[in-house]
Structure 1
Amino acid sequence: MLNCRTLFLSDVHLGCKDCQADYLLAFLQQCRADTIYLLGDIVDLWAMQKQVHWHQQQNKLLRCLLDKAEQGCRLVYIPGNHDEAFRLYAGKQFGNISVQLRASHTTVQGKRLLLLHGDEFDKEVNFGRWHAWLGDNLYDLLLFLNRWYNRLRRLSGGGYFSLAAYIKSRVPGAQKAIARYRAAAVAKARRAGFDGIVCGHIHHPEIRLEQGIIYCNDGDWIDSCTALAEHHDGSLALYHCSGQAEQIALLDQSTASSKAGLKVA
């Protein structure tokens, strides 16, 4: 069981046909955290405007989060672009759940982290309308391939493997867009006087030191199935959570020269 001080989750996309709610539910049932930050796109209102894909595991996932809040876990919900309608409730408190446009978090080691979804960096990453359209459609194709590939793996007794993330990691254009997003996020944290930033949005899990700024992306629950955790010693770790939680990257903030990137699990 993972016992951590803080858990960061984003891009669950409840209501979307590619949502991996069963993996997240299994992970949360084996995880204890003092605070959980939900960094946007938890519910996919965009997808549900076209067609709703909602099953019992998604109800159980919401119930699990509410139960944790009732048991004393602090939940902070920062809506993203796919659930931006909830931004109207920013500043509201619902029991142990608060809704905010952005937040700050201080680790055990005194590092101040800026928390946001990350869609505000789109204008700095976008290569134009044609590239945006092409990227969206290619990602939809990757998710389609990922869905059927893993169905075949399950039938043959294999575990989950993110084919979408594997292919995306080998497309130069995708890597260039990720680098531009990371640079924009790091610049935002530096301008605002933070030691680091935690975000989601681009579905690319990663933790690293970039120009002295801690950059963390907690990934998603569409293809990568990852979560970011702060351990009780203040170190930050990425967990791949399909089947069982597996630590894939670690950043020890007490060592200024430490660097960590996503390892293929």
Structure 2
Amino acid sequence: MANVQTLDPSASPLNYYGWELRRLREAAGLNQAQLGEIIFCTGSLIGQIETTKKVPTRDFSERVDAALGTDGTFSRLMGLVLRSQLPTWFQPYAEMEAKAAYISTYQAQLVYGLLQTEEYARAVLAIDYPDKADEMAVARLDRQRILKRDSPPALCVILSEAALHQEVGGHKVMRTQLTRLLNFLHDPWVQIQVLPFTVGQHAGTMGSFNLLRFDDDPDLFYVDGYDQGHMTANPSVIKERSVGYARLQATALSPEDSATLIAHVMEERYGDQS
């Protein structure tokens, strides 16, 4: 008899998802291979998700809902499952980010998470989370869904020029990442500016930070730490950082000139070297 792994459905959203998938699959009289055939994947993948060895995707969940007639159960679970893959200390920020009407961020070294490609995100996450990089990259990309809403937040991003030169994942990954940044040039809700090395000292010298504005809630300031984040609605902090951000915007290149610099770095540094 096969050794069936027992899951505690109360342990985590991912455990509950796997437990419920197995329960409803067996209730439908299907083994893993049979369900896999119906939703166009392998029985092995079904088993990995049922035992929490792999994180499901939204597409997978939609196909399971259709195959098992579960009225969107697994699709609704995906928000909780993916959020649980984020570091615990980051989850409160991710929840507020999803509610924000305006997001302003200055990034001193890396491309902002909402603009990262999957390969870039995986390379960044693998530094501190080598065993969970794939799952966490899926969760990070899921955050980007807010940019595709009918009413997306206005996103203003200022990148230090260092973020263009800091090679993450190799030349191919960086070229693809910079190409993605260029694709936002004509997006009405996303503005990307580059702060060039030539500006010298500036209002973001102390490091990266984010400002969130809401339609009905107080503004929030957020800054990453090594193993935790700090978020505050303190009015004096919001005022100080808002002025600092305005100074950064005034000092940075225009979106058009920023795109020109991004394209130049992309070709000069990450072009075809053969």
TM-score by length of 1: 0.30
Higher helix share: 2
Higher RCO by CA contacts (8 Å cutoff, separation 6 or greater)? 1
TM-score, normalised via structure 2 length: 0.29
Higher fraction of strand: 1
